[in-house]
Chains A and B, each alone.
Chain A
Amino acid sequence: MNSRNINLIKKLFPFFSLFIILIVFTIMRYSMFWSVSNLRAILNNWVPLVIGGAGLIFVNAQGSVDISLGGTLAFSATIAAILSNSLGYLTFIPIAILIGLINGLFIGFVVGYFKVPSIMVSLAMMMSLSAIVAYITGGQSVFISPKLFKLNEISVKLIATLIVLIVTAILFSKTKIGFFSKSIGENEETARYSGVNVVKYKMLAFGISGLLAGLAGTFTSASIGGIIPNMGNMYQLQILMGLFLGGAPVSGGSGTKYYQLVLGSLTLAVLQSGLVLMGTSAAISAIIQGLILLIVVYIGIYSNNKFLALETKRASLESLKE
């Protein structure tokens, strides 16, 4: 098999897995699966996944990870809820995304400037942010102004999501932020030697990621009607899973493409709602999701290694000819 074919398999497999999932659910629960209410449920699942992923993809492309997003979501929503209750409901969204942004910039600074591995920094942040939320709320729910419930309307959600997707897609595929993020993921030293301000672009990536977690927090609050304890729990893992299901490389780099985010988060949203329709228990459902993730990631890594080995061989042959 030549390297082009292997590359093709690597690219097509995530599409293939979504296709299989759709077929399986169609066969087993045709009418329920394609009903309006289920499509609405898929959309409701998908929105927070894709909004969070739209930021995390920059971090992931750099070969870093941000597992604090759940904490960031809960923290920014909590602060925004409390402050907007006295400052007016209109301040809710700006405060939430501002707090998210500051969190992200802080993580990015520590990761970039002090060269602490991102998993450690974001782990520490996740724990402290969740603890702060628990401390502030005292384990109680905080209500938000009913006027904010408008955010839970499907049309509002959809338009907001579309705007986020368009803006981040351009940022990721067409501007320096995206290009440098992928370069840093390919080889941080090369990026540095080529003139990339690595600290700045790490801060930007984590900043965008935090900002969008803050935005996702506003939608989550609107759908619940306020802030509840353990809100945002496992959120970051769901987003990560969405990215990887779409075929995004775990180690980042130029193999990270924007479509993988849309595809992967959709696959996950479909999978989750479909499993609910099948009456699968939460535990079994989690196991199935885990298995599918493992297969997709394995195929990605296996085909990539195969591809690189073939290219190395090609170089050996080229050199022999010279």
Chain B
Amino acid sequence: MDKIKTNSETVFLSNNIKKYYGPTKANDGISFNLKKGEIRGLAGENGSGKSTLISIISGITQKDSGEMKINGQLYQPKSPLDAHEFRIGTVVQELGLVDGLTAGMNVYIGQTEQFTKFGIMDMKRLYKTCEELFSYWGFDNFPIREMTKNLTVEEKKIVELIRALSVDPQILILDEITQALSHNNRTKLYNILDRVTEEGMAVVVITHDIEEMLNISDSITVLLDGRVVGDYQASEITLDELKQKMVGRIVDDTHFRPMDKPHFKDEIVMEVRSVSGSKFQDISFDLHKGQVLGFCGLSDAGIHELGEALYGVEHRDSGEVKLTKNQKVIHTQQDAIKNNVSYLPKDRDKNALMVNDTIKNNVSLAVIDELIVNGFLISDKKANIFANKVIEDYQVKTQSREQIIRGLSGGNRQKVSLGRWLALDNDILILDCPTRGVDVGVKAYIYTLLNELKDQEKSIILISDELPELIGMCDIIYIMKNGKIVKEVHRGPEMIEENIIEEMI
């Protein structure tokens, strides 16, 4: 489908759109135009700002600054209803249907006036129109009278698609719809897209399947860290080039270890035996002194849940996590902390920090047992010393230890979150995405810290969604898929992104 529509007119225009969530720059000056009859792919890694941009265009969230125009007319949606008015149809990533209504009702939710007379809805006419609509788009005999909660995920997606089409949109936005569709329904979708673009509708497609995006789009816009990397004609860019653009930043690997051999002590510090839980099964491994052990996998692989279970904060069905030096078994997070095991949660603001509390109290919470004097009293003096130590040792940019976390940037929050555990000088660290949501400078800083820890012969379990960082840091990477370890890669020429991705998928 490489129809190149160079001459058609612009339907949507946006200029310098910004949206910040506290320290997170979700959209940082995005300019983005759409032409009539064009299919535009929106590519980018998780957190690149795709979904935020879509929510702004479809009126779900409001931009902080910037300007949008539709057909030359200023467009400032306050709610999805405004988007309706400008005929923008959206299928969002999170299912946006009301479970307690039928499929047919969900299609017309918010636009039932056309079936209403004297406040009473003509259901018969609604279902009849609805049936025709589904047939028109090629979905005959769709269960439109079924309660939405009884539909499959695929059927729900189709309902959302039809709903988006029902407003006769001039712009159709599809956020991760193909994933849920089977092969023949995908073909139907492609046909629909052909039909609507023929009529001049502009379509925006987001999908994790980059190959598919290349196939169906006319052009592709790549986003990274809330900014546009560039617009590319689908016919002029290869899959590899596109992936490169999405990862973007030339990874500054000076902070990574050279690709040498694994090196760590023979001494084992933690033995994990046949650990199973709801999201992972039969995980066994040894953690050695001075070793960085990586875990990677797709979103349903269970790596994050495994990390929580090793620490004891998530339930384990069976298996054993044992510390070699004292033969203690870790059941709960209290056991872990008592035996010098630290854990850094992935979701910093939800699980790691008390966002509305001071740096001092957040540090104290982690190191509380170090602050106790006379058997039970918390020493304010010691708390101050610890807080200052974390601020100084880990370069937290703040005026005072009484500053609340909310007022810190993402990088500084992470320095507090990680630094307070490091201040305890524990031997075993379980780190879940330690560089998530921090900027490049702080990232490099955290890598330097991890290398120092390795030199001090600490043992680190590094769970991460970013392969370059695992490849840059780990002695051994365990690749997980559907809750099981499928492969173990040792540091060396084998440890390259392609090999790992192949096993993950």
- Residues on A with C-beta less than 8 A from B352 are 190, 193
A210–B112 alpha-carbon span in the complex (Å): 55
Which of A65-73, A108-116, A240-248, A308-316 lies at the interface?
A308-316
Residues B313 and A314 in contact, CB atoms below 8 Å apart: no
- Residues on A with C-beta less than 8 A from B433 are none
Residues B397 and A176 in contact, CB atoms below 8 Å apart: no
- Residues on B with C-beta less than 8 A from A31 are none
> A132 near B: Cβ within 8 Å?
no
Smallest CB separation, A22 vs chain B (Å): 31
- Residues on A with C-beta less than 8 A from B22 are 312, 315-316, 319
A193 touching B408 in the complex, CB below 8 Å, given contacts A186-B356, A253-B357, A254-B361: no
Which of B32-40, B175-183, B236-244, B330-338 lies at the interface?
B330-338
Residues B412 and A174 in contact, CB atoms below 8 Å apart: no
Which single residue of chain A is at the shortest CB-CB distance from B344?
A: A193
A311 touching B407 in the complex, CB below 8 Å, given contacts A186-B357, A190-B354: yes
Residues B23 and A316 in contact, CB atoms below 8 Å apart: yes
A319 touching B354 in the complex, CB below 8 Å, given contacts A174-B377, A311-B407: no
Residues A319 and B20 in contact, CB atoms below 8 Å apart: yes
Residues B356 and A179 in contact, CB atoms below 8 Å apart: no
Residues A315 and B408 in contact, CB atoms below 8 Å apart: yes
Residues B365 and A318 in contact, CB atoms below 8 Å apart: no
B355 touches which of A183, A187, A195 (Cβ 8 Å): A187
Digit string of B437-449 for contact with A (CB within 8 Å is 1, else 0)?
0010100000000
B378 touches which of A176, A187, A311, A320 (Cβ 8 Å): A176
A170–B378 alpha-carbon span in the complex (Å): 10
Digit string of B373-416 for contact with A (CB within 8 Å is 1, else 0)?
00011100000000000000000010000001011111110000
Per the 8 Å Cβ criterion, residues 282-322 of A in contact with B are 308, 311-312, 314-316, 318-320, 322
A314–B333 alpha-carbon span in the complex (Å): 34
- Residues on B with C-beta less than 8 A from A186 are 354, 356-357, 361
Residues B343 and A193 in contact, CB atoms below 8 Å apart: yes
Digit string of B230-271 for contact with A (CB within 8 Å is 1, else 0)?
000000000000000000000000000000000000000000
> B463 near A: Cβ within 8 Å?
no
Smallest CB separation, A277 vs chain B (Å): 41
> B366 near A: Cβ within 8 Å?
yes
A253 touching B356 in the complex, CB below 8 Å, given contacts A175-B376, A316-B20, A316-B22: yes
- Residues on A with C-beta less than 8 A from B313 are 192-193
> B30 near A: Cβ within 8 Å?
no
B411 touches which of A3, A194, A322 (Cβ 8 Å): A322
Digit string of B318-348 for contact with A (CB within 8 Å is 1, else 0)?
0000000000000011101100000101000
Digit string of B356-369 for contact with A (CB within 8 Å is 1, else 0)?
11100100111010
Chain A: interface residue total (CB-CB under 8 A): 32
> A191 near B: Cβ within 8 Å?
yes
Smallest CB separation, A197 vs chain B (Å): 6
Smallest CB separation, B306 vs chain A (Å): 15
- Residues on A with C-beta less than 8 A from B406 are 308, 311-312, 315
- Residues on B with C-beta less than 8 A from A153 are none
- Residues on A with C-beta less than 8 A from B361 are 179, 182-183, 186, 254
Residues A318 and B337 in contact, CB atoms below 8 Å apart: no
Smallest CB separation, A192 vs chain B (Å): 6
Smallest CB separation, B366 vs chain A (Å): 5
Residues A194 and B365 in contact, CB atoms below 8 Å apart: yes
Residues B351 and A190 in contact, CB atoms below 8 Å apart: yes
A190 touching B378 in the complex, CB below 8 Å, given contacts A312-B22, A316-B20: no
Smallest CB separation, B164 vs chain A (Å): 33
Residues A311 and B404 in contact, CB atoms below 8 Å apart: yes
Residues A319 and B25 in contact, CB atoms below 8 Å apart: yes
Which single residue of chain B is at the shortest CB-CB distance from A175?
A: B376
> B117 near A: Cβ within 8 Å?
no
A196–B345 alpha-carbon span in the complex (Å): 15
Residues B365 and A183 in contact, CB atoms below 8 Å apart: yes
- Residues on B with C-beta less than 8 A from A195 are 333-334, 336-337, 366
Digit string of A129-142 for contact with B (CB within 8 Å is 1, else 0)?
00000000000000
Between A174, A194, A254, A320, the greatest number of chain B beta carbons within 10 A of the residue's beta carbon is seen for A194
> B350 near A: Cβ within 8 Å?
yes
Smallest CB separation, B343 vs chain A (Å): 7
A318–B20 alpha-carbon span in the complex (Å): 12
A194 touching B366 in the complex, CB below 8 Å, given contacts A174-B378, A176-B376, A189-B350: yes
Smallest CB separation, B359 vs chain A (Å): 12
> B353 near A: Cβ within 8 Å?
yes
Smallest CB separation, A1 vs chain B (Å): 15
A318–B377 alpha-carbon span in the complex (Å): 36
A190–B355 alpha-carbon span in the complex (Å): 10
- Top 5 A-B pairs ranked by shortest CB distance? A186-B354, A311-B407, A195-B337, A318-B409, A311-B406
29 residue pairs of the A-B complex, CB under 8 angstroms, read A176-B376, A179-B378, A182-B361, A183-B365, A186-B354, A186-B356, A186-B357, A186-B361, A190-B352, A190-B365, A193-B345, A193-B351, A194-B365, A195-B337, A197-B334, A253-B354, A253-B357, A254-B357, A254-B361, A314-B407, A315-B22, A315-B408, A316-B22, A316-B23, A318-B397, A319-B20, A319-B23, A319-B24, A319-B409
Q: What residues make up the interface of A, taking CB atoms closer than 8 Å to B? A: 3, 170, 174-176, 179-180, 182-183, 186-187, 189-197, 253-254, 308, 311-312, 314-316, 318-320, 322
